[in-house]
Amino acid sequence: MSHPLFQAAEVLDMAIEIERMGLAFYRGCTAARASEQAAEVFEFAAEQEQQHIELFARMKRDLDQYTVPESYPGETLAYVRGLIGDTIFATVDEAACSAEEMPDVDSAIDKAVRLERQSIAFYSGLREVVRPSEHDAIDEVIAEEHRHIRRLVALQHELGGGD
Amino acid sequence: MIDHDAVPPAEDITRFYQPELARVIGKWQMTEMMVLLRLQPASGERLDHAPGQFLQISLPGYGEAPISFCSSPTQTDSFELCVQSVGNLSEALHDLRPGDFVGVRGPYGHGFPVEDMRGRDVLIVAGGIGIAPLRSLINYMADRRRDFGRVIIVYGARNPSERLFVEDVEAWDARDDFETWFTVDEPDETWTGMTGVVTVPLREVEIDPARTTAAVVGPPVMYRYVAMELLNKQMAEDDILFSLERRFKCGMGKCGHCQLNDLYVCQDGPVFRYTQLIGRTEAIEVWAPDEQKG
């Protein structure tokens, strides 16, 4: 695609929504695990998502923003969820339910890493429809997700899991 | 581009603003906010509109407003308008009864290029009240079915109670030669269909991008998300038609309300090819121009 469709600020809004889904997933994992060790892992991961929400919100303040008028409150968010739902989770509830279905900690971390990678693919696709002058912001979001994956994989190894 | 030669000389301007009388011959309350009016020109002359065009409807003492035709031009003895209750004029239009008269002038604007669409597959993407002008096109294609390839209708409403033209929708759904996808953003206990915004079913639709033209009308928020889905399907930008009807006002390019950089939506549109809008910095619902600020 050669013409920009979205502003970086809008992609950051999408990123914040994805992080909220991630937060719900990790909190769901924490609730579904009895072991103290597992709880620590998922609380850490949830904390990372929370930090991303705050970071992306800060980044957004420095970017150009305009608002397309909504025909009803929450319309933009509905389209954002329609866009990310196919890639990640459609709703926070779906994220939480998915967490409950994880059979063990190792599987949950595998799933989390897959989701982070899907998020990166999603942001990489959107980068193509954001004007080049704002690519730095999208690159920073992608870099943050890569860092998160590395931390998750390191934790998985510490717990004796992973490939 | 505007055909400035088409603008009448000064002495003819008043004639250009002169409405003709039309009689209300039918009225249906479609939803709490939407009424369908069936009108007949008092002169008995046909308006000969094209799908996607609009006219100006007026009531003395209340004013005048542009509204898209929602009936097919193949319906020759009358025409229909879908009126949303949003102000004094539209509320007065809601109070009309069969036998009452209104003023009309038009049709105006460039509608859907049905001649260029002949022989091609047509993908209709309607969001909310965007189904009204698209109903004109859909029913036109229904009446000229052999002139078109596949007809695919994707229609999304906020909730089941805000779906418009339910009888038409059911009739389209019942046809073997139409492919239909309906969704609502906010389902209730009565809804058994798809859930989500219009892009959710649109993603599932398979098309041949080389032979498909998309006609898209909906709320401003919808356009870029739909554009992304259509471009992901490898559609050419020139084959994507957007109607920006919300922008028009006087219908003659005089008031400037609808100006979109060097375009007047009421005269050059309301239907545009996507390629016509790229580069116009004020078309913020369609793309993300670099110059647009705060």
- Note whether B121 and B266 are same-domain residues: yes
Averaged pLDDT of chain A: 84
B37 Cα distance to chain centroid: 16
- Note whether B182 and B123 are same-domain residues: yes
The model's pLDDT over B28-69, given as tens digits with 9 standing for 90+, comes to 999 999 999 999 999 988 888 999 999 999 999 999 999 999
Domain count, chain B: 2
- Note whether B193 and B75 are same-domain residues: no
- Note whether B211 and B90 are same-domain residues: no
Distance from CA of A62 to the nearest CA of B (A): 11
Please, what sign has the CA dihedral across residues A4, A8, A13, A15? positive
Q: Kindly report the CATH number assigned to the domain that includes residue B158.
A: 3.40.50.80
**CB–CB contact A83 B196 (8 Å):** no
With a cut of 50, say whether residue B154 has pLDDT above it. yes
**CB–CB contact A70 B224 (8 Å):** no
Nearest to A82 among B200, B219, B285 (CB): B200
Q: Of B56, B81, B108, which residue is a domain's last?
A: B108
Distance from CA of A105 to the nearest CA of B (A): 32
A159: phi then psi, degrees, rounded to nearest 5: -85, 0
A52: phi then psi, degrees, rounded to nearest 5: -65, -40
The CATH number of A8-158 is 1.20.1260.10
Residues B74/B98, Cβ–Cβ less than 8 Å: no
Determine, yes or no, domain membership for B282. no
Determine, yes or no, domain membership for B293. no
Closest residue in A to B285 (Cα) is: A68
Determine, yes or no, domain membership for B290. no
Q: Kindly report the CATH number assigned to the domain that includes residue B94.
A: 2.40.30.10
With a cut of 60, say whether residue B292 has pLDDT above it. no
Q: Of B87, B108, B129, which residue is a domain's last?
A: B108
**Distance, CA of B5 to CA of A149 (rounded, Å):** 64
**CB–CB contact A83 B231 (8 Å):** no
Q: ipTM greater than 0.90, yes or no?
A: no
B29: phi then psi, degrees, rounded to nearest 5: -85, 110
- Note whether B146 and B264 are same-domain residues: yes
Nearest to A68 among B196, B231, B285 (CB): B285
Determine, yes or no, domain membership for B283. no
Q: Of B66, B83, B108, which residue is a domain's last?
A: B108
Looking at the DSSP bridge assignments, the partners of residue B82 are: B36
Taking residue A73's Cβ as centre, other Cβ atoms within 10 Å add up to: 7
The model's pLDDT over B119-142, given as tens digits with 9 standing for 90+, comes to 999 999 999 999 999 999 999 999
Closest residue in A to B227 (Cα) is: A5
Residue A112: predicted pLDDT: 84
- Note whether B156 and B269 are same-domain residues: yes
For residue B191, the number of C-alpha atoms closer than 13 Å in the C-beta half-sphere is: 19
The model's pLDDT over B60-100, given as tens digits with 9 standing for 90+, comes to 999 999 999 999 999 989 999 999 998 899 999 999 999 99
With a cut of 60, say whether residue B256 has pLDDT above it. yes
Residue A85: predicted pLDDT: 80
Residue B8: predicted pLDDT: 55
- Chain B residues whose C-beta is within 8 A of a chain A C-beta are 128, 158, 185, 196-197, 199-200, 203, 219-222, 224-225, 227-228, 231, 237, 278, 284-285, 287-290, 292-294
Domain that holds residue B188: 114-277
- Note whether B125 and B95 are same-domain residues: no
For residue B145, the number of C-alpha atoms closer than 13 Å in the C-beta half-sphere is: 8
Determine, yes or no, domain membership for B56. yes
When pLDDT is averaged across residues B227-251 and rounded to a whole number, the result is 89
